[in-house]
Amino acid sequence: MLKYIREYKIADMKDMIRNTKKQHLRSMESLQGKTAVIAGGTSGVGLSAVRVFAQYNCNLVLIARNEQKVKKLVDELQNEFKCTVVYYLADFTILEEVHKAAERILKEVPSVDILINSAGIHSTRKIYTQEGFESVFCVNYLAPFILTYRLITKLQQSPAARIIQVNSQGHRFNGFNINDLNWKKRIYTGLRGYGASKTAQLLSVWEFADRLEHTQITINAMHPGEVKSNIGSNNGPLYRWFHDKVVSKSLKDVIISGESLHYLASAPELSTVSGKYFNLTHPEKPAPHALDRETGALLWGKTLALTGLSSEKIWMSSMEEKIQCLKIL
């Protein structure tokens, strides 16, 4: 931990503060004819992206846990916009449901060009899922990992595909420990649990980016700004009171997140940019602990085992690309 704190550079911190004050960049690119899979599209950051993508004529595949809520949203979108919208149900605390949703998308959705993982939670208490995973780690990291990993064969059929993981400056809280991913050995706090899940996701983004280097798929992570949303509403009344009365006063409108996701998913200047972390639309250096590639490599293996994706898939199409990929592995 101390090692990582010492690695923080003043210049990087200044950069981060500067980026936070900067206006996000916009794209005017149409998404006509493209299909985006968006997880977490029923609220906050994901919902903002859904609406912006629909305005730009993107076809949408929503992954949600609440059927009533997502059905209502699909109806609204179909009345308001020309795009087609379908939904799949999956509760991200149940990895089996995530596998099933991915399998159905692979079978039923003709093409996927964009994948956005925005489903996420922050919990002040340590809660284990019915499958035995710490719930924040499960929802914020393991479930989006499965979706990303499994949808790659579909994304590979697109002429140019982009994956964006909605991450957070909260990764800077750290809390990540490769020997205690499931919080059995340490005292849990909300910030550390959240930081651990977001750190894990960043470490996995660099691993995915390496493996996808010889494909037409890019993968990046982004911090969606400090915006008004429903995050934390699963916590107790004191937390919610503090969030509503104090924190939310300084939060921005969530439209900046949706517009930034549209920029990251469509800007021509980002067509080959992969393996980066963006503060909204501005590239930024993540915290040193999230750049530890040795730990990332260990995490990759552990994640495949935890998620039941134990055999390494090679997605590259030609033999030459496979050889290149094997060199990386």
Ligand X SMILES: NC(=O)c1ccc[n+]([C@@H]2O[C@H](COP(=O)([O-])OP(=O)(O)OC[C@H]3O[C@@H](n4cnc5c(N)ncnc54)[C@H](OP(=O)(O)O)[C@@H]3O)[C@@H](O)[C@H]2O)c1
Among positions 53, 92, 137, 149, the unique one binding ligand X when judged by CB under 6 A: 92
**Taking the C-alpha atoms of 205, 156, 58 and 262 in order, what is their torsion angle to the nearest 10 degrees?**
30
One character per residue 140-169, x = contact with ligand X (rule: CB under 6 A): x-------------------------x-x-
Q: Which is nearer to ligand X, 252 or 285 (CB)?
A: 252
223 binds ligand X (CB under 6 A): yes
Query: How many C-alpha atoms does 279 have within 13 Å on its Cβ side?
Result: 21
Per the document, the length of the chain is: 329
Q: Which is nearer to ligand X, 64 or 112 (CB)?
A: 64
Among positions 31, 36, 38, 45, the unique one binding ligand X when judged by CB under 6 A: 45
136 binds ligand X (CB under 6 A): no
CB of 49 vs ligand X, minimal distance in Å: 9
Terminal C-alpha separation, the chain: 28
Q: How far apart are CA 317 and CA 302, in angstroms?
A: 26
How far is CA 159 from each of CA 34, 174, 216, 271, rounded to the nearest angstrom? 10, 36, 7, 11
Among positions 18, 26, 69, 240, the unique one binding ligand X when judged by CB under 6 A: 69
Q: Which is nearer to ligand X, 214 or 282 (CB)?
A: 282
Q: Which is nearer to ligand X, 20 or 215 (CB)?
A: 20
Region 243-302 residues binding ligand X, contact defined as CB under 6 A: none
Residues 50 and 41 sit within 8 Å (Cβ to Cβ)? yes
Q: Which is nearer to ligand X, 112 or 280 (CB)?
A: 280
Stretch that binds ligand X, among 100-108, 172-180, 226-234, 287-295 (CB under 6 A): 226-234
Q: How far apart are CA 42 and CA 230, in angstroms?
A: 10
Closest by CA position to 221, among listed 137, 145, 124, 136: 145
| Cα–chain center distance at 30 | 22
Binding site for ligand X (CB under 6 A): 40, 42-46, 64-66, 69, 91-93, 118-121, 139-140, 166, 168, 223-224, 226-227, 229-231
